[in-house]
Amino acid sequence: MSTNFQGMSVIIVTARNESHPLEISTIMYCESCGDYTKFYGENSLPVTACGWLKTHEEKLSSHGFIRIHHKYLVNPQYIKRFPYRSPDNQVFLSNGTILKVSRQKKKSAYQKLKKYCEG
């Protein structure tokens, strides 16, 4: 569930028995780490939160986040390049991070990104 906090759209995550409001628009991507999920932001260190990536995906998909791999959920506003025809199956983020795209999710992810870009 996302909520508004001081006029921002945020997601509340639990990390080390503390609740953290993360502004959704600043989350670049999320990475699955077993029973935990790491949230990578544009202006902060990663936050490791309790819960599977699937749980967070359910909360963030309505904000346009795209599942590109079993390990990654990406905010499309930070995708700089997605060379669809490349055999490397990667996306390039605006901060220089390169993430793997699974073959199974490539077509769906590309279509979702295209839809996002078309507005």
pLDDT tens digits, residue range 84-94?
888 899 999 99
The answer to whether the beta carbons of residues 50 and 60 sit under 8 Å apart is no
Under 8 Å between Cβ of 27 and 75:
yes
Helices in the chain by DSSP H: which ranges? 53-60, 103-118
Q: Please determine, for residue 30, whether its predicted confidence score (pLDDT) is greater than 80.
A: yes
Residue 52 contacts residue 62 (beta carbons within 8 Å): no
Mean pLDDT of 71-95: 95
Query: Does the pLDDT at position 38 exceed 70?
Result: yes
Asked if the model's pLDDT at residue 112 lies above 60, the reply is yes
